[in-house]
């Protein structure tokens, strides 16, 4: 299933890539692929902005505004006036319910 | 007295602390304990019992979902040695059960992180299944004394919270990202810690969607019940004041309609997701809501007579359905936050407007003779 692909904030600077391949291994939607020992963007629109690739990219070749794609969590962050990227689904050990 | 770990070339000085190896009270999933160089480590069973399956079903229905956890720390499976792999998990019992069930017949060390009882992927998104907790747990369990290798098998969906390069720098262990699904672990381990592309894909098939729907249903049910209850009470209003007849003839059917719409949206939305037109979930929900309204109208549901109730329900049911399916984004595996924000900016004001107008028409209809059933 495809989602709203034009909204994705994923950025990739191929010149910084060191070919470690971690982005390919951590991505749950095959956004990256290895071509001749360097990463390439294979399916940018499938990105869910989980941030795993950017987190594991040592040369910082990847940028993304990571966050959870959860409407309820975002509603909660708007109502409590916090940053969307800090939006939490509220599912933590401390709170009793979700969102 | 500090204990420095200089294996990796950069030392993380850790004050000697009590070993964070759990000593849980007698638990049905504990098979015994094994003596190791770092102390007594609980051995866990790898065959899941009825109790575990019942527990899984309960949390899927949101029964004490936030309180279904195991003590974090080190566990053993089978008869592990210093060469056995270290498999990392969250302390949500469902995650833990999936892991131990997958390694039946094998020997391994299980390193369970304190994610406050939250599953791997959600915890990774929040950062609780993260670099800091992983490094702290590796150190507090004295893993470098326990195993001769320096590898940690981390579930792939832990990656949003874990930086493999940073973990290596801080504690000398290399993160090997394992498969998405624990059930693929045997094949992954047998292939020498290699995953096929398929093992690294997250899917969202019909079963996956249905399995996460009940939690969303139970969470929204409170709001739906509140709305339904208000309609029951308000239904008594009429041109001649308040009447119990109104509560019965108008309030109850209206409440039933709200609840039915809510349940249908909560079940059919997830079930039919790929086949409902539109990419935005709010749009899919609105489309579903229009169809539900049309079906209810043609099936003789007690919507009332005339254009006021038609407008009331024709607006409210799609609004409810749109909101419900929009909230399913959090349970889905393929929505980006930027996409959700984009659709919410358009959808939420429309949902509010439609619901407000629908409610106004419903209320107006209370005072127009012959409108409601």
Query: What is the C-alpha to C-alpha distance for residues B220 and B262, in angstroms, rounded to an integer?
Result: 8
Query: What is the C-alpha to C-alpha distance for residues B114 and A87, in angstroms, rounded to an integer?
Result: 21
Secondary structure letter of residue B89 according to DSSP: E
Cβ count within 10 A of residue A57: 25
Question: What pLDDT is attached to residue B302?
Answer: 82
Full DSSP string of B305-316: SSHHHHHHHHHH
The answer to whether A67 contacts B204, with C-beta atoms less than 8 Å apart, is no
> To probe the interface with A, which of B339, B346, B349 has the most A CB atoms within 10 Å?
B339
Question: What pLDDT is attached to residue B197?
Answer: 96
- Name which of A62-66, B64-68, B206-210 the model is least confident about: B64-68
Structure tokens belonging to residue B251? 């309030």
Which position has the token pair 């195991």? B70
Q: Residue A82 — very low, low, confident or very high, per pLDDT cuts 50/70/90?
A: confident
Round the CA-based radius of gyration of chain B to a whole number and report it. Answer: 27
Taking the CA of residue B238 and the nearest CA in chain A, the distance in Å comes to: 35
Q: Closest residue of A to B333, CA-based?
A: A48
Question: What pLDDT is attached to residue B14?
Answer: 38
Query: What is the C-alpha to C-alpha distance for residues A7 and A3, in angstroms, rounded to an integer?
Result: 9
The answer to whether B156 contacts A25, with C-beta atoms less than 8 Å apart, is yes
Query: What is the C-alpha to C-alpha distance for residues B267 and B331, in angstroms, rounded to an integer?
Result: 13
Strands B108-113 and B30-36: unpaired
The answer to whether B337 contacts A72, with C-beta atoms less than 8 Å apart, is no
Residue range B219-226: mean pLDDT, rounded: 93
pLDDT in tens, B229-256: 999 999 999 888 899 998 999 999 999 9
pLDDT in tens, B145-201: 999 999 999 999 999 999 999 999 999 999 999 999 999 999 999 999 999 999 999
Query: What is the C-alpha to C-alpha distance for residues B54 and B49, in angstroms, rounded to an integer?
Result: 9
Taking the CA of residue B331 and the nearest CA in chain A, the distance in Å comes to: 7
Taking the CA of residue A78 and the nearest CA in chain B, the distance in Å comes to: 11
ipTM: 0.90
The answer to whether B326 contacts A71, with C-beta atoms less than 8 Å apart, is yes
Residue A99 has pLDDT above 50, yes or no: no
Cα dihedral B217, B220, B224, B226 sign: positive
The answer to whether B219 contacts A97, with C-beta atoms less than 8 Å apart, is yes
Q: Is B253 helix (H, G, I), strand (E, B) or coil?
A: helix
C-beta of residue B137 within 8 angstroms of C-beta of residue B70: no
Taking alpha carbons only, the member of A91, A47, A60, A77 closest to residue B338 is A47
Compare CB distances from A56 to B122, B164, B204 and report the shortest one's residue: B164
pLDDT in tens, B123-161: 999 999 999 999 999 999 999 999 999 999 999 999 999
Q: Closest residue of B to A2, CA-based?
A: B279
The answer to whether A47 contacts B343, with C-beta atoms less than 8 Å apart, is no
Compare CB distances from B125 to A26, A68, A93 and report the shortest one's residue: A68
Compare CB distances from B66 to A49, A71, A93 and report the shortest one's residue: A93
Report the predicted TM-score, pTM, of the whole model to 2 decimal places.
Answer: 0.88
pLDDT in tens, A11-21: 999 999 999 99
Question: What pLDDT is attached to residue A87?
Answer: 55
Question: What pLDDT is attached to residue A97?
Answer: 36
Query: What is the C-alpha to C-alpha distance for residues B102 and B96, in angstroms, rounded to an integer?
Result: 10
Number of H helices, E strands in chain B: 13, 11
């Amino acid at each position: 299933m495809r989602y709203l692909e034009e909204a994705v904030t994923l950025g990739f600077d191929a010149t910084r890539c060191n070919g470690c391949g971690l982005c390919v291994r951590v991505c749950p939607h095959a956004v990256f692929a290895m071509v001749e020992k360097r990463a390439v963007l294979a399916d940018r629109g499938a990105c869910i902005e989980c941030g795993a690739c950017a987190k594991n990219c040592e040369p910082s070749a990847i940028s993304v505004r990571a966050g959870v794609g959860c409407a309820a969590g975002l509603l909660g962050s708007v109502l409590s006036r916090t940053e969307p990227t800090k939006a939490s689904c509220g599912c933590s050990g401390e709170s009793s319910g979700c969102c | 007295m500090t204990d420095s770990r200089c294996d990796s070339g950069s030392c993380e000085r850790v004050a000697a602390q009590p070993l964070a190896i759990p000593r849980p009270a007698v638990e049905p999933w504990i098979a015994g304990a094994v003596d190791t160089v770092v102390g007594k480590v609980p051995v866990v069973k790898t065959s899941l019992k009825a109790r575990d399956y019942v527990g899984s079903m309960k949390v899927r229905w949101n029964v004490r979902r936030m309180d279904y956890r195991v003590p974090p720390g080190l566990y053993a499976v089978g008869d592990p040695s210093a060469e056995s792999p270290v498999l990392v998990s969250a302390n949500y019992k469902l995650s833990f059960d999936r892991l131990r069930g997958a390694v039946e017949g094998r020997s391994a060390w299980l390193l369970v992180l304190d994610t406050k009882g939250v599953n791997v992927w959600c915890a990774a998104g929040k950062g609780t299944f993260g670099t800091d907790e992983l490094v702290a747990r590796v150190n507090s369990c004295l893993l470098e004394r326990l195993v001769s290798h320096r590898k940690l098998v981390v579930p792939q969906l832990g990656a949003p919270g874990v930086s493999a390069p940073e973990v290596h720098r801080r504690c000398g262990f290399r993160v090997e990202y394992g498969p998405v699904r624990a059930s693929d672990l045997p094949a992954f381990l047998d292939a020498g810690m290699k995953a096929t592309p398929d093992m690294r894909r997250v899917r969202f098939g019909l079963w996956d969607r249905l399995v996460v729907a009940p939690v969303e249903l139970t969470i929204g049910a409170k709001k739906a019940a509140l709305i339904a209850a208000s309609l029951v009470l308000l239904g008594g209003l009429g041109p001649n004041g308040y009447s119990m007849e109104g509560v019965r003839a108008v309030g109850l059917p209206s409440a039933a309609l709200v609840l039915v719409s809510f349940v249908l949206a909560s079940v059919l939305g997830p079930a039919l997701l790929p086949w409902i037109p539109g990419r935005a979930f709010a749009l899919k929900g609105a489309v579903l809501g229009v169809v539900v309204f049309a079906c209810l109208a043609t099936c003789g549901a007690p919507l009332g007579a005339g254009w006021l109730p038609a407008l009331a329900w024709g607006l409210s049911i799609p609004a409810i359905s749109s909101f419900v399916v929009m909230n399913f984004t959090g349970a889905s595996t393929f929505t980006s936050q930027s996409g959700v924000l984009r659709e919410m900016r358009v959808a939420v004001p429309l949902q509010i407007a439609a619901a407000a107008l629908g409610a106004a028409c419903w209320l107006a209809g209370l005072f127009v003779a012959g409108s409601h059933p």
